[in-house]
Amino acid sequence: MLFLVVLFLFKNTSLFKNTISFVRGNQENGLTTYETITLRDLVNKDTDGDGVLDWEESLYGLDSTKKETAPGISDSAALEKLKIQQLQSGESLLNEEAGQGEESLTQTEKFSRELFATVAATSQGGTLDQATIDQLVASLAGKMENPVVRKVFLASDINIVRDDSAQAMKNYLDTVNKIEAKYPIKGNVSNVLEKFVADENNVNISALAELDLVIKPLQNGMNEALKMKVPQSLASLHLDSLNGLERVIENLNDIKLFDTDPILALGAISQYDKNATSLESSALKLMNVVIQKLKN
């Protein structure tokens, strides 16, 4: 269901802002819109003009850019044959995917399954009415805007010491500075994503490998921050920074999965700016408290 990736929605400027705008939706006549593009256009898209919608061609293994995936056989005829075979065998793509187990499915596969199930339940002809489209829009936006939190660090995960002396604060600050010096970040997320979105119609998947220049030092730094000694009065702020860092690392790792799970990746892109800003705020608050304690 890669048509749902909506590559052409991304511009080289204000990438995060535009993505968030798309995910949250701008309501216009009851439809979620992005500039002049609507999700109704995407769901009802028929690239090759053969009367078979892109989502259905993708679902049944047909080429949405060709009227005849197999030379001499129209995709519409091939689709009807596939549907008959499916009914005769008593199997459906929905059941086949469900057999994989919920946890083994990507977010994109889950949405594809939901799309197929919704269409199958509401229309035997495979068309979508406005109510169905609105339901799918809300589902997709919800998946992107409300990701599952996978890891939350607790006080038991860090090395808290009962020492709030000036020396303990100095040691804490020195350790933080050493970690930052040891694992410098050499990449830039915004630059990588600009390379990734080559133009309005294409993406450069290989550019996402450069995110490792950010992910690896962040991950290494976080691992050491989990083991360092933390004065008791800083524990809560230290945890806030670690959890903020975890959200950012998760976002960046998810963005790298664009080729295999575009919905997960798009959700991560939409969340990254907010999470990066939150992390910066938590880290600044922590450092300000440390500096203030050193002055007292």
Residues 228 and 281 in one domain: yes
- Mean pLDDT score of the chain, rounded to an integer? 75
| pLDDT digits 0-9 by tens, 17-55 | 344 343 333 444 433 333 333 444 555 667 888 888 776
Under the banding of pLDDT at 50, 70 and 90, the label for residue 2 is very low
- Of 2-16, 108-122, 219-233, the range with the highest mean pLDDT is 219-233
User: Bridge-partner residues for 230, per DSSP?
Assistant: 160
Same domain, 123 and 246: no
The set of residues, in sequence order, having a beta carbon less than 8 Å from that of 16 and lying 6+ positions away, is 190, 269, 270, 272, 273
Q: What is the CA radius of gyration of the chain?
A: 24
Least trusted range by pLDDT, from 7-11, 179-183, 283-287: 7-11
Give me the pLDDT at residue 91, please.
46
Number of structural domains in the chain: 2
Taking the model in full, what pTM does it have? Answer: 0.66
pLDDT of residue 152: 94
Residue whose pair of structure tokens reads 């008593």 in the numeric block:
90
In a shared domain, residues 167 and 222: yes
Q: 9 with 130, same domain?
A: yes
So what's the pLDDT on residue 234? Answer: 96
Domain limits at 35? 2-145
The residue out of 96, 127, 145 marking a domain boundary is 145
Percent of the chain at pLDDT above 90? 35
- Distances from the Cα of 106 to the Cα of 18, 94, 97, 126, angstroms: 24, 14, 11, 24
**Encoded tokens for 181:** 């010096």
Same domain, 113 and 181: no
Residue 210 lies in a domain: yes
Last residue of a domain, one of 113, 145, 177: 145
Read off the pLDDT of residues 203-230 as tens digits, 9 standing for 90 and up. Answer: 788 999 999 999 999 999 999 999 999 9
285 and 164 housed in the same domain: yes
- pLDDT band of 198, cuts 50, 70, 90: low
34, 139: one domain: yes
Q: How confident is the model at residue 88 (pLDDT cuts 50, 70, 90)?
A: low
Over the range 69-80, which residues count as b (16 or more CB within 10 Å of their CB) and which as e? beeeeebeebbe
Residues 138 and 160 grouped into a single domain: no
Three-state DSSP string of 99-158: CCCHHHCCHHHHHHHHHHHHHHHHCCCCCCCHHHHHHHHHHHHHHHHCCCCCCCCCHHHC
Query: How, if at all, do strands 159-161 and 229-231 pair?
Result: parallel
pLDDT at 201 over 50: yes
Max avg pLDDT among 41-50, 96-105, 254-263, 275-284:
275-284
Pairwise CA distance, residues 101 & 95, whole Å: 10
Mean pLDDT, residues 270-292: 91
Dig out the tokens for 195 from the structure.
Answer: 């390379």
Burial 12-21 (b: 16+ CB within 10 A, else e): eeebbebbbb
* First vs last C-alpha separation in the chain: 60
Mean pLDDT for 148-156 is 89
Mean pLDDT for 130-159 is 77
